[in-house]
Amino acid sequence: MTNNIVKKLTCALLAVTMTFSAWAISLDDAKQQGLIGEMQNGYLGLVVEDVEAQSLVANVNEKRKSIYLNLARKNNITMAQVTALAAEKALNKTQTGHFIQNAAGQWVKK
């Protein structure tokens, strides 16, 4: 069951990433520029204060939350379980040189 959830989560995260490719600043660009990073809770966070990046983070996180809620309901698990799996997956997929949040809540380059 966990493997199935991970597969669904991977597809959902890919869909969210692709959805935001047409923004003024793309998700990839914002990560490449060090403006945003992946947090320990399965959501994006601002590394550097930037209005465009803040808007992007808010919109991506809203979409992620919706996806996480749907996955939790469909699989009869808690949001905490879904976000933990999402965070693990996102942190593992983060490219070298992009920012991630460590266990202490500090931004570090992977």
Domain limits of the chain?
2-102
What is the predicted pLDDT for the residue at 90? 95
What is the predicted pLDDT for the residue at 16? 56
List the one residue out of 59, 45, 42, 57 whose CA is nearest residue 6: 42
What is the predicted pLDDT for the residue at 4? 75
pLDDT averaged over the chain?
88
What is the predicted pLDDT for the residue at 12? 61
What is the predicted pLDDT for the residue at 50? 93
Predicted structure pTM score: 0.78
Tell me the pLDDT tens digit for each residue of 12-31: 665 555 544 444 689 999 99
Tell me how far apart the terminal alpha carbons of the chain are, to the nearest angstrom: 30
What is the predicted pLDDT for the residue at 41? 96
With a CB cutoff of 8 Å and minimum separation 6, the contacts of 16 are 60, 63, 64, 67
What is the predicted pLDDT for the residue at 11? 60
Angle between helices 2-19 and 79-93 (to 10 degrees): 60
What is the predicted pLDDT for the residue at 51? 92
Asked whether residue 49 carries a pLDDT value surpassing 50, the answer given is yes
Per-residue CA distances from 87 to 7, 24, 30 (Å): 14, 25, 18
- Residue 100's DSSP bridge partners are 38, 108
Tell me the Ramachandran region of residue 97: left when phi exceeds 0, alpha when psi lies from -120 to 50, beta otherwise.
left
List the one residue out of 109, 104, 101 whose CA is nearest residue 42: 101
What is the predicted pLDDT for the residue at 25? 83
